[in-house]
Structure 1
Amino acid sequence: MEQQVKPYNAETSKKSQVEDMFDNIAGKYDLLNHVLSMKIDVLWRRKLVKMLAADHPKTVLDVATGTGDLAIAVQRGTGADVVGLDLSQKMLDVGIDKVKKNNLEGKISMLKGDAENLPFTDNKFDGVTVAFGVRNFENLEKGLSELRRVVKENHSVYILEFSKVQGLLGPLYMFYFKNILPRIGRLVSKDNRAYTYLPDSVSAFPYGEKMKKILLSVGYSKVSYTRLSLGIATIYKATK
C-alpha cells in the first residue's frame, strides 16, 4: 500500500481534500500546467492518444478529466465518443466551456463522479484514460480495479502519471520540482498547499515496475509502460 499524501493538513478524507484543492485552483489550472511543464504535457497526451488510437475505440472514458484537455485530445485523435469524469465541479465547468468552444458537445459529455465508484456497467468502454489522476486516488487498488471493471475484455486502460527522473538529471529536476515549482504555483494559484502536494505525492507514488506489479495484482492480464522525457512521466498500458 502506498504512503498516503493529502493536499491539506486536515482530518478529512483525501478524496474530499483533492476535490477542494482542484476547486480552489480550477481557474488557473491550465495556465499553470502549461507554464510549469513548458507545454511538454501536451506532447505526453499526444503520445497517449496515439497509443489509444491503435485500438480503434468507439467509446472512451477519461477519468480525472479535469478541464478536459485529454478528453478533447482523445476525441480529436480517435473520433470516439468520450465521457469525461471528475470529482471537482469547478474543473468540470472549465472543461464544459472548452468542449463548447470546440463544438464537441455531441461527442464529449462531462460528468461529476468518483473514480473509485464509477457509475457505469461492467465492460462498457473500448478504452479508459487517466492523465495525472491515479496519484490522487484515496484507495489506489480500488480505483485501478474500477477502471478495469468498466473497460471491455481485451481492451486497455492508459494511465499517464508523473514518475521520477533517473540518472544525473534526477537531483536537478527534483530541486526544481520541490523548490521552484511550488513557489510559482503558490504565486499564481493563491493556494499555499496545492503545488507542494504535487511533489510530495509524486515522491510517495509507485512508478515503473512497482506500478506494474500493482496493476497486475488487481487483475490486469498484461501491463507495459513507456517512460517519457527521461522519466518525468510514464504511460502505463494495462490490458484487461
Structure 2
Amino acid sequence: MAALPEEKAQQVRRMFSEIAPRYDLLNRILSFGADVRWRRRAVALALEKRPRRILDLATGTGDLALLLKAQAPGAEVVGADFAPPMLEIARKKAQGRGLEVPFLEADALALPFPEGLFDAVTIAFGFRNFADYRKALAELYRVLAPGGRLVLLEFPPPPKGAFGLVYRLYFQRVLPFLGGLISGHFGAYRYLPESVEAFPPPEALKALMEEAGFRVRYERLTFGVAAIHVGDKP
C-alpha cells in the first residue's frame, strides 16, 4: 500500500536529515560534477527578469540560494527547507562566504509567506519529494507576484534509447551502492532512483504547471538526465 502524503513527508524529512553531512560530496560524485552546471543554468533563468525577492525552496544545504545571492547581490534571497540538519549546513556556508541569506524551516505545501511576496521561486532536485505536486504548485503560484517566475530543476525519468539504458543501469545499480557506501544510508540512495522513475516526464510536468496557471517552457540537460521547467505567472 502506498504511503499517505503525511507519511511520505516524514520519511523524506528523516532521510534527508540523516544524509545531510555527506550531501554535497555525494552530489558532486554521483553527478560527475554536472549538478554545478545545471544549477548555474537554473540561476541564469531565474535572474532573467531581475527579481528583487527570491525564494529557494527545498534549498537543502543552500547551494542554489547562495549562488543566486552571489550572482544578484542586490536581491533579497531566502532559502527554505523542511530538514533542519540541511539548514544548519546552509547557514554555516552562508556565514563562511559572507553572504546574507536567511534559511528557514518550511513546509512546501503550506508556505509561511504572504501572497505575491516573491518575484522568483527556485527548486533544485526537491520538487519530486513533495507529497502533493498539485498542492505544491498552487502554493508556489500563490507566493509569486504577478509576472513572477518559477524555475524547477529536476531529474526526469531516464531517457529512452541506448544512453538511457546505460544511465538507468548506473542510476538503479551503481548510484545506490556508491551513495549508500559513502553516506552510510543505503535506503536514501535506493529512494533516489525510485523517486525519479515515479516522477512525471517533462511534458507531463509541463501540463501540471499549466494546470496551476503558469505559462511553461522546459529544456532538457545532458542528454535528458536533468530538465529545467520555467513557469511564468501571468
Same-fold call, TM > 0.5?
Answer: yes
Shift, 1:217, TM fit:
1.1
2:118 paired with 1:156: no
User: Which digits, 9 at most, give the CA deviation of each residue in 1:106-126, with x for residues without a partner?
Assistant: xx1100010110000001001
Q: Return 60-69 or 141-150, whichever deviates more.
A: 141-150
Give the whole-Å Cα distance in 2 for the aligned partners of 1:192 and 1:75: 33
Is 2:133 aligned against 1:102?
no
Cα displacement string for residues 138-190 of structure 1 (whole angstroms, at most 9, x for unaligned residues): 11110111111101111110000001223320000000000000000111111
Aligned pairs for 1:83-232 (under 5 A) are 83-105=78-100, 108-163=101-156, 164-220=158-214, 222-232=215-225
Shift of 1:11: 10
Percent identity, aligned pairs only, is: 42
Task: Write the distance in 1 (CA, Å) between the matches of 2:34 and 2:159.
Answer: 15
- Rounded to whole Å, the distance in 2 between the matches of 1:207 and 1:191 is 27
Q: Against the structure 1 CA distance between its residues 226 and 92, is the aligned structure 2 distance closer, same or farther, given a 3 Å change threshold?
A: same
| Among candidates 54, 57, 60, match of residue 60 of structure 1 | 54
8 Å contact 1:166–1:231 — kept in the other structure?
no
Identify unmatched segments of 5+ residues in structure 1: none
Taking a change above 3 Å as real, the CA distance of residues 145 and 187 of structure 1, as seen in their structure-2 partners, is same
Tell me if structure 2 keeps the 8 A contact 1:65–1:85.
yes
Q: Does 1:23 align with 2:17?
A: yes
Match in the other structure for 1:72: 66
CA-CA distance at 1:12 after TM superposition: 6.5
Q: Distance in 2 between matches of 1:126 and 1:217?
A: 20
* Residue 36 of structure 2: aligned partner: 42
Give the letter for the 1:223 counterpart. V
Q: CA RMSD in A?
A: 1.6
> Aligned partners of 1:194, 1:137: CA distance in 2, in Å?
15
Q: 2: CA distance between counterparts of 1:63 and 1:53?
A: 16
Partner SS for 1:202:
helix
Which AA in structure 1 matches 2:17?
Answer: D
Can you list the C-alpha shifts for 1:56-88, whole angstroms capped at 9, x where unaligned? 011100000000000011111222211100000
Match of 2:232 in 1: 239
Aligned residue for 1:230, secondary structure, equals coil
Tell me, yes or no, if the aligned pair for 1:166 and 1:230 is still in contact at 8 Å: no
Specify the SS of the correspondent of 2:102.
strand
Gaps (5+ residues) in structure 2?
A: none
* SS of equivalent to 2:51: coil
Structure 2 counterpart SS, 1:44: helix
